Amino acid sequence: MPQEPRTSFDTLSLPPATLDNLHRLGYLEMTAIQAASLPIALSGRDLIAQAKTGSGKTAAFALALLARLDARRFAVQALVLCPTRELADQVTTEVRRLARAEDNVKVVTLAGGVPLRGQTTSLGYGAHIVVGTPGRILDHLDRGNLQLEALNTLVLDEADRMLDMGFIDDIAKVARRCPAQRQTLLFSATYPEGIATLAAQYLREPVTVKVEAQH
């Protein structure tokens, strides 16, 4: 097994309770993409991060958006766009694990293939973070179920797969509904041409980090 460089989460300016939670989860060292991207994401800069599947990209954006979240404010502050319901469910699970229990962070998943009504009810109770697929999120925006005025972080997760699946127009429509003043984080396993176009449209002076596959 090749050794990745090891860096502790303690090197980041995260609250002690977050660090304790990471230890409880058994996250002792950052993965390579986390070490490369978290300092940038936590600084507030826009980011393009590329690393293979299974490299820990979810925590790389989740810790950044959670660091900025004000749980006392009942408004959607972060939106994560994912290509499929399964991936949206996985991201929701990971964000809930990483959120500090005492903060009572509400994460709502909005993906297609399930009835709208339960999702509408969940939104009505108040959500801090929404994770979902572009089409279904757009549907809730159009119905007035979802407001994004308080949004400060937009994440495009698995951006290469979202492009493959033809979500470009839906991503554009969702991005247009987000406040211009925000941080945008783009994560992808590969970097096809379309990613650069997408980034040029929705990110501002992004920093690009890439972790090469280990052989």
Query: Which residues in this chain contact Mg ion in the complex, by CB under 5 A?
Result: 57
- Selection from ligand ADP, Mg ion, none that 182 binds (CB < 5 to 8 A by kind) is none
Q: Which does 56 bind (CB under 5 to 8 A by kind): Mg ion, ligand ADP, none?
A: ligand ADP
> Which of 105, 63, 109 is CA-nearest to residue 89?
109
**Interacting partner of 13 out of Mg ion, ligand ADP, none (Cβ under 5 to 8 A depending on kind):** none
Report the residue number, 62 or 123, with the smaller CB distance to ligand ADP: 62
CB of 115 to Mg ion, least distance (A): 26
Residue 181 interacts, among Mg ion, ligand ADP, none and using kind-specific CB cut-offs from 5 to 8 Å, with: none
Interacting partner of 30 out of Mg ion, ligand ADP, none (Cβ under 5 to 8 A depending on kind): ligand ADP
Q: Rounded to an integer, what distance in angstroms lies between the CA atom of residue 13 and that of residue 68? A: 12
Helix (H, G, I), strand (E, B) or coil at 2: coil
- Rounded Cα distance between 114 and 136, Å, is 10
Q: Tell me which residues touch ligand ADP (CB under 6 A).
A: 27, 30-31, 34, 53-59
Nearer to ligand ADP, 98 or 146 (CB): 98
Coil, helix or strand at residue 99: coil
**Residue 65 or residue 141: which is nearer to Mg ion going by CB?**
65
CB of 45 to ligand ADP, least distance (A): 20
Q: In this structure, are residues 91 and 131 in contact, taking their beta carbons and an 8 Å threshold?
A: yes
- Both tokens of residue 101? 């229990």
The distance of closest approach from Cβ of residue 92 to Mg ion in the complex, given in angstroms and rounded to an integer, is 12
Pairing of strands 207-210, 47-50: parallel
Look-up of token digits 């003043």: 181
Residues contacting 141, CB < 8 A, separation 6+: 148, 174, 177
| CB neighbours of residue 124 within 10 Å | 9
Nearest approach, Cβ of 165 to ligand ADP (angstroms)? 17
Name the minimum Å distance from CB 87 to ligand ADP. 8
C-alpha–C-alpha distance, residues 83 and 19, integer Å: 30
Cβ distance to ligand ADP smaller for residue 52 or 143: 52
Q: How far is the CB of 95 from Mg ion (least distance, A)?
A: 12
